[in-house]
Amino acid sequence: MKQKLLPILAPLVIAVALVFGAYFYFQNWPIAHAGVYGQLKPAVTTTLNERKFTKPAASVAAVRIEDNILGAKAIMPLTVVTTDKGDNLLVLIDKKIRLPADYVPANLVDVAGFPGSQLRSEAAGKLLEMFAAAKNEGLNLTIVSAYRSYQTQVNTFNSWVASAGLKSAESFSAHPCFSQHQLGTAVDIGAVGKTTFSNGFGNTPEGIWLAANAYKFGFCLSYPAGKEAITGYSYEPWHFRYIGVNNAQAMINSGSILEEYLQKFGVW
């Protein structure tokens, strides 16, 4: 009986082995080839459980490419990537992609007329152009907050945690290293003589003008209303990020918000 079964069982065992081998190969193929195709090139990964505001110990790890989110450029849940591309205008910084603690943007300058406020030189120049254009229409815009260093963001985030609690603070304030302000291209804008950091700003003449015109100067609203599930942050009609005039126009033409556009066309 055993001799009769052997010719039948042997091919079956080989077939099963081939099926399982092919399955595991294709499951791990994206990880092995991610660097080859350049779709994801993380420098360092940590976990979302990391809450210490000190520079983490580096541990290099591959990030698997998934095909179900925005053009095969998704990052696995619970994985955080530290990017070394902070000087690129299209670098994506969000709740899964962070800057090194010691990152300082190149070409930081004082914004003329706004003591204590700094931005990268290109962003500063375009911001002043935008403010001048708004003023020609009778609107007086001002800087509420511009570049923030790692340590400044530590203080800012800890202050919000102390006053609002961790869960609430995380909905509107970034952990240190995860803030667009550290890039030197993000700015919180207000209107002279009016309340700052209010959702109502979006309904003021200044907020309405910015929403309609900021892209012409290279600035995009980072956290629009109704997109909290995508951005991870609540609506902030005052928070704009400079990505360059041509890029901002392309983003508007695409119909995407900033987070979506940078996931498709940005770097990290």
Tell me the catalytic residues: 236
| Ranges assigned E (strand) in 158-257 | 186-191, 219-223, 236-242
Give the burial class of 220: count Cβ atoms within 10 A of its Cβ; 0-12 exposed, 13-18 middle, 19 or more buried: buried
Task: Check if the beta carbon of residue 262 is closer than 8 Å to that of residue 90.
Answer: yes
Q: Please report where in the chains the tokens 């892209």 appear, as a residue.
A: 215
Task: Give me the long-range contacts of 175-178 (CB less than 8 A, separation at least 24).
Answer: 175/51, 175/53, 175/98, 176/53, 176/101, 176/150, 176/151, 177/82, 177/98, 177/99, 177/100, 177/101, 177/103, 177/150, 177/153, 178/93, 178/94, 178/95, 178/97, 178/98, 178/99
Write down the number of H helices and E strands in the chain.
Answer: 8, 9
- Using left for φ > 0, alpha for ψ between -120 and 50, and beta otherwise, residue 131 falls in alpha
Q: Treating both helix axes as pointing N-terminal to C-terminal, what angle do 121-135 and 205-213 enclose, rounded to 10 degrees?
A: 130
Rounded Cα distance between 109 and 119, Å, is 6
Rounded Cα distance between 111 and 122, Å, is 11
Helices (H), 104-149: 121-135
